[in-house]
């Protein structure tokens, strides 16, 4: 009986996986457990990946949805997605120790929104309803001063209180192309709308989408490793299909692969969302090697060297 395997060319996207904000958020939880001991509470999933969450739970992290599930006498970490202003205010009122793991690039959007509000503008947030980052950004301003726009159609029908005093900010993990279309629709209707000083969609989202665009048209199938509640991972699937991949699927790990997807296919693209660890990527590659004669080519669009500092509270000497 023949043991020869069919050839499979894997195009491996680079950059992929963890970004600096995710890496920092995970380190914050790990350092908080080292400094304060277990348990350390974390409001919301620190990043959108069950594998990451379960590993941190094993170290002593307890994940909750709201602050009222946390005791007063244990530290709490706020997730990388950011939180409404009321959350740290409540933690201060309760005299809790809290560590804010909000990605600095999300914090930049918060600062922009607050600056526009202070200058008398109403703010438009381009983003997805219900996403924690959107909830956090909208929670920086008083009700009625920030409006959510999700689609080009929303941009065409939106009615501001004062069209002459308007600004927009965006969620950091959106589709670059879809967002450009929404911004164009807003700018057509409101030529004086104030834009961010620098693009709000973060470097990691942009780079991962660029890598997928570069490889997608060459692929019979693109596998995106990430969670279903991870905005940037879901966008990568959409970008792959738009850029010409025959098929694109979101998987949490190699265990989710339906190998019939690869029947008759010769070129597989692989990438990972910004909250997916590299060991999951390697797990998919190993699973493919068990079934095919694999050849790997990297498709690199840029190098990433961004690093964010940890909060000062974690650099201080541990309590006695």
Query: 152 with 181: CB under 8 angstroms?
Result: yes
Annotated catalytic residue within 65, 92, 112, 133: 133
d(CA 296, CA 250): 20
133 tagged catalytic: yes
Cβ proximity of 75 and 314 under 8 Å: no
Nearest residue to 160 via CA among 170, 150, 151, 148: 148
For residue 240 the two structure tokens come to 């792959």
User: Known catalytic residues?
Assistant: 133
């Amino acid at each position: 009986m023949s043991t020869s395997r069919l050839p499979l060319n894997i195009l491996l996207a680079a950059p992929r996986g963890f970004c600096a904000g995710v890496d920092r958020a995970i380190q914050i939880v790990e350092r908080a457990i080292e400094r304060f001991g277990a348990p350390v509470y974390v409001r919301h999933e620190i990043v959108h990946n069950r594998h990451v969450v379960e590993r941190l739970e094993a170290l002593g992290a307890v994940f909750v949805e709201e602050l009222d599930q946390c005791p007063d006498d244990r530290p709490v970490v706020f997730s990388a997605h950011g939180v409404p202003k009321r959350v740290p205010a409540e933690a201060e009122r309760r005299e809790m120790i809290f560590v804010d793991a909000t990605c600095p690039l999300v914090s930049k959007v918060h600062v922009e929104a607050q600056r526009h509000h202070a200058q008398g503008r109403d703010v438009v947030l381009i983003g997805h309803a219900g996403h924690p980052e959107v909830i956090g950004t909208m929670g920086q301003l008083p009700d009625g001063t920030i409006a959510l726009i999700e689609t080009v159609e929303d941009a065409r029908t939106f009615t501001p209180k004062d069209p002459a005093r308007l600004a927009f900010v965006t969620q950091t993990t959106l589709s670059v192309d879809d967002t450009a279309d929404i911004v164009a629709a807003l700018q057509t209707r409101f030529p004086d709308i104030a834009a961010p000083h620098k693009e709000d969609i973060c470097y990691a989202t942009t780079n991962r989408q660029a890598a997928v665009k570069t490889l997608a048209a060459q692929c019979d199938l693109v596998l995106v490793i990430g969670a279903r509640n991870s905005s940037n991972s879901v966008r990568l699937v959409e970008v792959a299909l738009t850029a010409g991949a025959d098929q694109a699927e979101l998987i949490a790990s190699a265990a989710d692969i339906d190998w019939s997807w690869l029947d008759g296919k010769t070129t597989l693209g692989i990438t990972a969302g910004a909250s997916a660890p590299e060991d999951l990527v390697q797990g998919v590659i190993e699973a493919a090697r068990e079934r095919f004669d694999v050849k790997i080519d990297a498709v690199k669009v840029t190098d990433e060297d961004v690093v964010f500092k940890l909060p000062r509270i974690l650099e201080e000497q541990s309590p006695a």
